[in-house]
Structure 1
Amino acid sequence: MRPYVICHMISSLDGGLHLSRWTASPDGKLGDWTALYQSCHEKLAGDAWMVGRVTMAEMSKGEPHPPREHGKVDRPSHFANRQAGNYAIAVDTSGKLHFARNEIDGDHIVVLLGSDVPDSHLAELVADGISYIVSAQAQPDMHAMLDTLERELGIKRLLLEGGAGINGSLLAEGLVDEISLLIAPALDGRAASQSFVEFGTEGLAGKIQLALKSCETLDQGVIHLRYAVTSL
């Protein structure tokens, strides 16, 4: 049984992800909107939050430092901390992320990896006190990995927080139960600007449907929309 997954994001009116590229508003500033997003994150009360490799790289701040020597490493999983209050989960198919610590703002790090990741990288994660799950496939089997997160770490409620690619992939696979979207009073407007959900050239038409759960006006000109997601 997998966790209940909420895709929790903030975007401009035209779906833009990068706050630094948004237009200004007299209703609020970037810092105000970020604070509202974090406040909603807390209210959604997840046991864990999950992001893709690019998003996690902005927080991990590490350089490669594999051990000079290492013994046999555990596959398919290693759990350095089963009692954490919250977990920070990164999807890193090829093992490109490196970490300066084993937590982010107190949340224990768990890395989800593809089967081709080398043992030297797993040994680095073990030495850093970081948990990991290795998929049986080169591309992580997210169905199986979410099941493992629930079974092994007791994660019941997970917040999926970008980027666009991982959001789109999990939506397409029927692994998202709800969307929580904050819309700020701003525009991006650039051609080919990345939206908060992307799924290749085919998109998500015919794969899911949304039903409005609530619409709330917050401070600083922000609207909070929540949708139930159903797979087709």
Structure 2
Amino acid sequence: MAPVITLWPPGGEDGPDLAAAYAYPDELAAPFVRVNFVASVDGAVSVDGRSRGLQTPADQEIFRLLRRLCDVVLVGAGTARAEDYGGARKPGHAGVAPPPIAVVTGSADLDPASRLFTDTTVAPIVLTTAAAPEQRLAAIADAGADVALLDGLTPAHLLAELDRRGLHRVLCEGGPGLFGDLVAGGAVDELCLTVAPIAAGGTAGRISRGPAGAPPQQLDLAGAIRDHDGTLLLRYRRADRPNG
């Protein structure tokens, strides 16, 4: 089992080298899918419908780091709406342009006046299909979206499009439905899971929700960090990949 390292303050001299611990594998020839979630100790994925109530300082530090390290942020439209997503603004790894937000939506139901389109320095990528309503497609294209019409929205279709664009360091931020589809498709390479020291109760769902009967995906613990406030930052890799 990976050692538990106390992290305080985040990024401080006595803490671990976070950039090295969370670095993507070198020389990727295909998309590597990292999923990032925060959950309470009793398994809730949100408080009052949003993840903000679960976030801790260490979780926010890792959230910002993971965005800097990735080529693209992949997110479902429901999460983008619920969390009021803005676009990417800060430079990514090696000081290159900010990673675009790639939103998965079969209906193209996105508000052209939302922060996703108005608060960004990089055009969002909208991954959808030709079956989406034409008026919605036109509206988000007019708002600046880079619209990609795919043959389907399965993990294979999504990752093939990201691969075509050379976006190999993939950071998926949910929601549970998209995560569940990636699990069912055997497409999750790494899970970064923050366990917040909160018992949330309520009716919140879990971090993954997928089709019934899908085989589970075996993961191995690759890293564990404990913050002084009880937050656990866990990193799991798929069992057929080496830990790093």
Give TM class, smaller chain: 0.7 to 0.9
- Provide the secondary structure at the position in 1 that maps to 2:132: coil
* Matched residue, 1:197: 208
Deviations 1:36-91 (A, max 9, x none): 32321232311221211211113269xxxxxxxxxxxxxxxxxxxxx952111111
Share of identical aligned residues, percent? 26
1:3 aligns with 2:31: yes
1:55 aligns with 2:66: no
1:227 aligns with 2:236: yes
Q: How many residues end up aligned between the 2 structures?
A: 197
* Matched residue, 1:212: 221
State which of 127, 146, 150 in structure 1 corresponds to 2:142.
Answer: 127
1:38 aligns with 2:38: no
TM-aligned CA deviation for residue 94 of structure 1: 1.3
Aligned CA distance change for structure 1 residues 37 and 107 (closer, same or farther; 3 Å): farther
Aligned CA distance change for structure 1 residues 148 and 183 (closer, same or farther; 3 Å): same
**Structure 1: stretches of 5+ with no match in the other structure:** 23-28, 62-82
TM-aligned CA deviation for residue 105 of structure 1: 4.8
With the length of structure 2 as denominator, give the TM-score of the two structures: 0.71
Which of structures 1 and 2 has the larger relative contact order (alpha carbons within 8 angstroms, sep 6+)?
1
Aligned CA distance change for structure 1 residues 165 and 20 (closer, same or farther; 3 Å): same
Q: Distance in 2 between matches of 1:88 and 1:18?
A: 21
Aligned CA distance change for structure 1 residues 31 and 229 (closer, same or farther; 3 Å): closer
Aligned CA distance change for structure 1 residues 21 and 156 (closer, same or farther; 3 Å): closer
* Matched residue, 2:111: 98
- The residue type paired with residue 87 of structure 1 is P
Q: Distance in 2 between matches of 1:193 and 1:60?
A: 20
Q: Distance in 2 between matches of 1:60 and 1:30?
A: 16
Q: Distance in 1 between matches of 2:206 and 2:171?
A: 18
Deviations 1:185-219 (A, max 9, x none): 111233x53011112443x5x33101110111124
* Matched residue, 2:22: none
Q: Distance in 2 between matches of 1:95 and 1:50?
A: 15
Aligned CA distance change for structure 1 residues 196 and 32 (closer, same or farther; 3 Å): closer
- The residue type paired with residue 42 of structure 2 is D
Aligned CA distance change for structure 1 residues 129 and 105 (closer, same or farther; 3 Å): closer
Aligned CA distance change for structure 1 residues 141 and 201 (closer, same or farther; 3 Å): closer
The runs of 4+ residues in structure 1 deviating greater than 4 Å are: 29-32
Aligned CA distance change for structure 1 residues 117 and 21 (closer, same or farther; 3 Å): closer
Q: Distance in 2 between matches of 1:10 and 1:40?
A: 11
Q: Distance in 1 between matches of 2:97 and 2:143?
A: 16
Contact 1:208 1:229 in 2 (8 A): yes
**Structure 2: stretches of 5+ with no match in the other structure:** 1-28, 87-95
* Matched residue, 2:164: 151
Contact 2:38 2:194 in 1 (8 A): yes
- Provide the secondary structure at the position in 1 that maps to 2:33: strand
Aligned CA distance change for structure 1 residues 99 and 224 (closer, same or farther; 3 Å): same
1:86 aligns with 2:99: yes
Contact 2:37 2:193 in 1 (8 A): yes
Q: Distance in 2 between matches of 1:114 and 1:53?
A: 14
* Matched residue, 1:80: none
State which of 108, 119, 122 in structure 1 corresponds to 2:123.
Answer: 108
- The residue type paired with residue 56 of structure 1 is A
